[in-house]
Amino acid sequence: MCGHCTERAALAERLATPTPWGAASPDPLLLPVHLQEAGDWRQVASTVAGGGDLVLAIIALCRAACARLMQGERASLRDVLAPALHARLEHWLASLDLPDAWTWLRDEAPAPCPLPLAIARDELDAYLAGWLRVPHALAPAWDETMLHERLPRLSAALDVLHRDAPDDDRLLLLALSSPGATSPFSAIDLWLQRRAVRAVIAHRGVAFVLPLLERWRSGTLLAAVLRGDLDAPALQVLHAAMAQRPDDGTEGTRDLRIAVEQALPR
């Protein structure tokens, strides 16, 4: 089972269930996506047992860093994660050779303000070349271990560009570059893509998406609709555009149509 399968199953489950992400007890196999998408991510993270998957703790670390960068929150993961899982996360973080610009992720210290954009851009450039293999594949390829080790930095770098440089073309490149079949079970690379899509829509508007609708992975748009990121006018514009688009018969496109129709004001 790859990340695409995990994401597709989690999105289908969320579409069929009127409760918010993580409100009901999710299938443990789908917990990574629920933790990525839940509004109350702390509640979801608090349900993970001490012997749970370390990847869930890494995702929680990314969510906590995002809350610090985007909302100025300072809650410690020590108060969220099971003690045994938090200890494992700290041990994992201590094993990483973090550059000085990123040690605040490990120490739960305040992020540098402002965090230099050049550092964030370099981080995303490395990801685009090493994991997504775009715009060219000359850089050494990343393996799954490297992807997980770099995730906290990548996640924070994405937030920094979303906040401080929303016009940066890297966000658009991330939004349009879909990971291949090597996407890990945790779907963390698909999560980065979903967030890039939300950043593009938030800054440029849903009308920017429409001329290139066939290039946007349906799961990224479905996630945005399910999160409530699109207001009524944007939903109406997307609904009209999809009505004019031939049905390609895929499950993702079908679910996106259903989600848009359900979200439209009555």
Q: Is the pLDDT of residue 137 over 70?
A: no
Got the DSSP string for 12-81? HHHHH--SPTTTS---GGGHHHHHHH-SSHHHHHHTS-TTS-HHHHHHHHHHHHHHHHHH-----GGGTS
Residue spans per domain, the chain: 3-204, 206-266
Question: Percent of the chain scored above 70 by pLDDT?
Answer: 95
Among the residue ranges 84-88, 112-116, 217-221, the one predicted with the least confidence is 112-116
Write down the pLDDT at residue 23: 67
Looking at the predicted structure, is the pLDDT value of residue 191 above 70?
Answer: yes
* Average pLDDT for 68-73: 82
97-106 residue pLDDT tens: 999 889 988 8
Compute the mean pLDDT over every residue in the chain, rounded to the nearest whole number: 89
pLDDT at position 158 is 97
Q: Which of 39-43, 66-70, 135-139 has the lowest mean pLDDT?
A: 135-139
| Per-residue pLDDT, 80 | 93
Q: Is 130 exposed, middle or buried (0-12, 13-18, 19+ CB in 10 A)?
A: middle
Distances 79 to 41, 60, 134, 216 between C-alpha atoms, Å: 13, 12, 39, 38
Task: Judge whether 208 and 53 are in contact, CB under 8 Å.
Answer: no
pTM: 0.94
pLDDT higher for 181 or 157? 157
Express each pLDDT in 193-243 by its tens digit: 999 999 999 999 988 888 878 888 999 999 999 998 999 999 999 998 888
Q: Residues of the chain with pLDDT > 90: what percent?
A: 55
pLDDT tier, 248 (very low <50, low <70, confident <90, very high otherwise): low
Let me know if 157 is exposed, middle or buried by CB neighbors in 10 A (0-12, 13-18, 19+). buried
**If you ran DSSP here, which 8-state letter would residue 227 be given?**
T
Distance (Å, whole) CA 259 – CA 225: 7
Lowest-confidence pick of 30-34, 118-122, 207-211: 207-211
